[in-house]
C-alpha cells in the first residue's frame, strides 16, 4: 500500500542537524555503495536513518559519543591556544 503522506509533510516531520563536512562526505560514500547494491540512489535521509538505527543498536554507544565529544572539545581548545 502506497503512503498517502506528501513529501512536504514528511520533510516537515524531519529534524535538520548540522554535520561536519568530513562526516557528510563519508555518508555520501556510503550512499554510493548502497546505490551500487540497489541499482538506484537512495535518499540521503534513508542512508543516515539506517546508520543511526545501526548505531543505536551498538553496545557502548554512549561511551563512544562521550569520547568523540571530548576529542572535539580538546581540538577546539587546542585551536584557540596560541603557540
Composition of the chain by helix, strand, coil, percent to 5: 70, 0, 30
pLDDT tens for the 83 residues of the chain, in order: 555 677 677 777 888 899 999 999 999 999 999 999 999 999 999 999 999 999 999 999 999 999 999 999 998 888 887 66
Amino acid at each position: 500500500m502506497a503512503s498517502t503522506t506528501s513529501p512536504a509533510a514528511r520533510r516537515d516531520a524531519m529534524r535538520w542537524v548540522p554535520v561536519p563536512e568530513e562526516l557528510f562526505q563519508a555518508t555520501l560514500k556510503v550512499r554510493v555503495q548502497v546505490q551500487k547494491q540497489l541499482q538506484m540512489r537512495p535518499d540521503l535521509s534513508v542512508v543516515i536513518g539506517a546508520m543511526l538505527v545501526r548505531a543505536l543498536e551498538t553496545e557502548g554507544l554512549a561511551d563512544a559519543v562521550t569520547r568523540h565529544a571530548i576529542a572535539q572539545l580538546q581540538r577546539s581548545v587546542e585551536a584557540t591556544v596560541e603557540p
